[in-house]
A and B are shown apart, each in its own frame.
Chain A
């Protein structure tokens, strides 16, 4: 039996790694990949609490998170393809169209 806080600490570690990727990397693709990692670490937390409390709802919310993540990835990659077609850059610092 694995104690609950091991799972939570794993989730915290993966979340911190993903946030480091989002904040530090300059490549848009890697920012999106790190975002996926952050969402997955939250899923670990949800399922761990669901298992610990004997309640299905954590797993159900995790399923919804996975579904919404799939939608998010489809739209984000569509935006990315359109962006690269128009601007031909992958660096987050150069995408400043909305900066007044």
Chain B
């Protein structure tokens, strides 16, 4: 009983309250009056997901047919009836060489997902074997003062997810470190506010691509002597600069619009400046700061894909781009897999921020 209670609390805290309804269903705890709520919270989302998959399946099928007919017609017009028959037979047989290249169906995407996981298992095994094989040699090289040999094989899909997460969190923390303190200073001082206002207004709407190019120009020169790959630094700095504006604006707004009553309390109690900022101003603007941070993290995750693609930094963005360039038979399906993975991770990141916000802030926010 106690165990399940904590589980329910945790899921609710994370904004994943709907999960506990499932648990109630399986443990048979559902009361009659909960039936309607259960219908709304569990059945309706499942039904809408199934409907979505169904529509997707039908849409993919009709696109497939359009493409197939076009190919057969083209063969007929260019090479005659025999070629057309051959093409039709080839498509029907499922031969890879003549499959129409269009929106993949849900089952194809699922198959690609599994093949990506298999691929990951394969690469991991390969990597483990490599590390084992080179362990003794590396020890010797390190003892001699040389660099250890590292695995330079192709990263798997899962590796790329983690690399993307690393980039997005590095960018997010960069944004946090710049935007929160700066926002506090801007919010506290009208002079700084007018000094920075034009700066914020002009740079806020700049596109991620341009930020990337700007960071590229600077970092490339700064790291000119370094032989290391600068793509990671460039991409995380660009992500951070792109996404920090929401936090900057929200923090300065939160700090400058603290309830006058609280400021009066601080004055009557004669709090020092330091105390006033840390005991009154910051706690009262935490909800707004966190709203900013939440937007920052979701913007960071969104622009990450574009920036990784430009920076050639390994990750989901590069994965999508390479699959698109690759044009293999299952490339489209892999792109859709990446799309879902990106979406789901974005959703989980948002919930993570919500959980942290509810944990540190006095105002409880409901999940949207």
Partners in one complex: no
